[in-house]
């Protein structure tokens, strides 16, 4: 089996494909032949890149080129940017897989895949429910019960054990169960806790706070911030019906949640879309429909480039 070309050569090959696809001159053709003759790796790169673009060839020529053009910005270096976009089509599937399924997720004690829900009783009698693309590690011993939430969202019904406290650990702090039912979700740089029954004790490097039934907090390394009150019955119902209920939540966070159910990857400008607040009930079982529902009520555009890549952006021409 031939050795895979370097990323540098793959990008050079992408530049040549764009150059030759845009009314190449005789000089372009000769220069390309000379480049191919320099090393077997060059021809290998062209073959691999053309193979990766095969799905796009099934599309009409103009829409395929338009989709690629949309990935770039209108600058004087537009052709080079197109080439990088083409090169990304080769390297991005692996990169996205690593980003969405990092080693810690893949090696977790319990995890769910895209669009998958799971319910499991732990050794101590605690019931654990995992939302899509969620992962946890367990560390139970004679003195304590610790669950590390690596990614996603979980609903816990903690079994009582006076001799072994139950804690949920995230990168931002910890949640110590003083009662039973609650939800913990990993966000971008933060953790969200929603209490269904009883209470918990939240602690990070700076603060400590008790959170009671019906309350919700968000915490990161620097603080613990109260959020809008929650309805425990509504949360339970949403889990049962596989719904995503959001209330006055930044669109960027909503897209993070939808990405766990989406078979591809959602691209978006987090800073730009965080300014838009969302209140909605969305079908988690149908992320494409959820995106369409958002687009109907928000000033955003949804663009699909390949079966595994979708971009959400602000609508440049919103209705007046």
pLDDT tens by residue, 214-261: 999 999 999 999 998 999 999 999 999 999 999 889 999 999 999 889
The span from the CA of 273 to the CA of 314, in Å, is 7
Q: What is the pLDDT of residue 320?
A: 56
Confidence of residue 57 (pLDDT cuts 50, 70, 90): very low
Reply yes or no on whether the pLDDT at 128 is more than 70.
Answer: yes
46 contacts 13 by C-beta, under 8 angstroms: yes
Confidence of residue 306 (pLDDT cuts 50, 70, 90): low
Across the beta sheet with 181-187, what order do the strands follow?
118-121, 127-130, 153-157, 181-187, 190-195, 216-219, 224-226
Q: What is the pLDDT of residue 263?
A: 79
Reply yes or no on whether the pLDDT at 83 is more than 90.
Answer: no
- 87/16: higher pLDDT: 16
In the chain, the domains with their CATH numbers are 7-100 (no CATH), 103-236 (2.60.120.1440), 242-314 (3.55.50.30)
The lowest-confidence range among 5-9, 91-95, 131-135, 218-222 is 91-95
28 contacts 20 by C-beta, under 8 angstroms: yes
Q: What is the pLDDT of residue 175?
A: 97
Confidence of residue 316 (pLDDT cuts 50, 70, 90): confident
Confidence of residue 209 (pLDDT cuts 50, 70, 90): very high
Q: Which two tokens stand for residue 278?
A: 């969302």
> What pTM value is reported for the model?
0.69
Reply yes or no on whether the pLDDT at 177 is more than 70.
Answer: yes
Q: What is the pLDDT of residue 63?
A: 37
Mean pLDDT of 146-174: 95
Reply yes or no on whether the pLDDT at 198 is more than 50.
Answer: yes
Mean pLDDT of 268-293: 92
Average pLDDT, the chain: 81
The span from the CA of 297 to the CA of 319, in Å, is 11
Return the SS3 of 200: strand
Q: Which two tokens stand for residue 51?
A: 């193979």
Highest mean pLDDT among 26-30, 86-90, 285-289, 292-296 belongs to 292-296
Tell me the pairing of strands 265-268 and 309-314: parallel
Q: What is the pLDDT of residue 77?
A: 45
Residue 263 to residues 36, 91, 97, 197, Cα–Cα distance (Å): 37, 18, 11, 33
The span from the CA of 133 to the CA of 260, in Å, is 5
Q: What is the pLDDT of residues 141-155, one digit of tens each?
A: 999 999 999 999 999
The span from the CA of 114 to the CA of 59, in Å, is 27
CB atoms within 10 A of CB 140: 16
Q: What is the pLDDT of residue 22?
A: 59
Using alpha carbons, select from 67, 83, 79, 58 the residue that is nearest to residue 309: 67
Using alpha carbons, select from 239, 281, 55, 131 the residue that is nearest to residue 289: 281
Return the SS3 of 116: coil
Confidence of residue 11 (pLDDT cuts 50, 70, 90): low
């Amino acid at each position: 089996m031939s050795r895979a070309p370097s990323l540098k050569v793959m990008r050079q090959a992408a530049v040549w494909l764009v150059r030759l696809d845009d009314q190449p001159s005789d000089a372009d053709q000769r220069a390309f032949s000379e480049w191919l003759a320099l090393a077997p790796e060059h021809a290998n790169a062209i073959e691999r890149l053309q193979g990766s673009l095969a799905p796009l060839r099934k599309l009409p020529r103009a829409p395929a080129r338009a989709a690629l053009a949309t990935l770039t910005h209108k600058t004087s270096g537009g052709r080079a940017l197109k080439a990088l976009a083409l090169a990304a089509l080769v390297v991005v599937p692996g990169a996205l897989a690593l980003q969405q399924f990092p080693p810690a997720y893949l090696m977790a004690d319990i995890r769910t895949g895209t669009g998958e829900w799971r319910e499991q009783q732990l050794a101590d009698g605690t019931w654990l429910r995992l939302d899509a693309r969620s992962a946890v590690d367990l560390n139970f011993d004679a003195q304590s019960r610790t669950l590390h939430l690596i990614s996603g969202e979980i609903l816990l019904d903690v079994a009582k054990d006076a001799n072994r406290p139950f804690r949920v650990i995230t990168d931002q702090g910890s949640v110590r169960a003083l009662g039973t039912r609650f939800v913990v979700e990993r966000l971008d740089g933060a953790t969200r806790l929603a209490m269904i029954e009883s209470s918990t004790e939240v602690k990070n490097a700076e603060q400590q706070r008790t959170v009671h039934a019906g309350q919700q907090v968000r915490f990161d390394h620097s603080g613990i911030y109260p959020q809008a009150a929650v309805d425990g019955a509504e949360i339970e119902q949403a889990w049962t019906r596989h719904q995503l209920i959001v209330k006055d939540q930044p669109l960027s966070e909503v897209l993070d949640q939808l990405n766990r159910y989406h078979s591809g990857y959602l691209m978006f400008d987090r800073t730009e879309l965080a300014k838009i607040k969302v209140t909605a009930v969305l079908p988690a079982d149908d992320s494409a429909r959820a995106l369409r529902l958002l687009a109907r009520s928000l000033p955003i555009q949804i663009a699909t480039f390949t079966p595994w890549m979708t971009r959400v952006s602000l609508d440049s021409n919103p209705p007046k």
